[in-house]
A = this chain, B = another copy of it.
Amino acid sequence: MKLLEERIRQEGIVKSGSVLKVDSFINHQMDVLFFDKMGAEFKRLYADAPINKILTIEASGIGIAIIAGLHFGVPVVFAKKSRSSNISDDVYHTVIHSYTHNNDNNVIVSREYLSPEDHLLIIDDFLANGCAMEGLIDLAHQAGATVEGLGIAVEKGFQKGGDKLRQEGYRVESLAIIESMDAATGEIVFREQD
């Protein structure tokens, strides 16, 4: 999505440690009208898929997932990070490692809201190592749901989570894929997409 690449070039800030800050329009201040364009693009990309629910994870995935939900006309379920290690029986549960915070999170979804009837689009703002996506896919599989595909705003292509998921057979649609970026010069190279 050329519009997203342009916006990242304009407003994204490359920091050391493979950090890309897009706080000004994606994951702190959220440009809702721009999200609307991203939601329309996800719908275009997945027009052929029988998606009846969107799954995301708190917190910064929720905004894009909600707008995509409007475009698909389906409900959105967000997986919750549990503060408690005491996990009840009425939830699906997985553990997701965060490289950003260097910790493990218990992540849960109530059994009521994922089922074998569900055909899921899993949405998040970023895909890097793929830990969050693997966790959400695990929750979907526990529920017997079908994963129709993944929808990502910004994929860090150089961190290989996306390519690993594609090799495993998942459909991954990322609106922008960063092939490389340089904190010293601020240069960002995007992967060519159709």
Contact = CB atoms under 8 A, between A and B. Distances in A.
A80 B63 contact: no
Contacts of A69: 30, 32
Interface string A64-85: 0011011001111110100100
A108 to B, nearest CB: 10
A104 interface: no
A75 B29 contact: yes
Interface string A49-73: 0000000001100110011011001
B33 A59 contact: no
A117 interface: no
A31 interface: yes
A30 B78 contact: yes
A77 B78 CA distance: 19
B59 A29 contact: no
Nearest to A101: B83
Contacts of A187: none
Contacts of A168: none
Closest 9 CB pairs of A and B: A32-B69, A58-B59, A59-B59, A29-B113, A62-B62, A30-B76, A29-B77, A63-B66, A66-B66
Given A25-B75, A28-B80, A63-B66, 16 more contacts: A23-B113, A24-B113, A29-B112, A30-B77, A30-B78, A31-B75, A32-B66, A32-B73, A33-B70, A58-B58, A59-B62, A62-B62, A62-B63, A63-B76, A63-B78, A66-B67
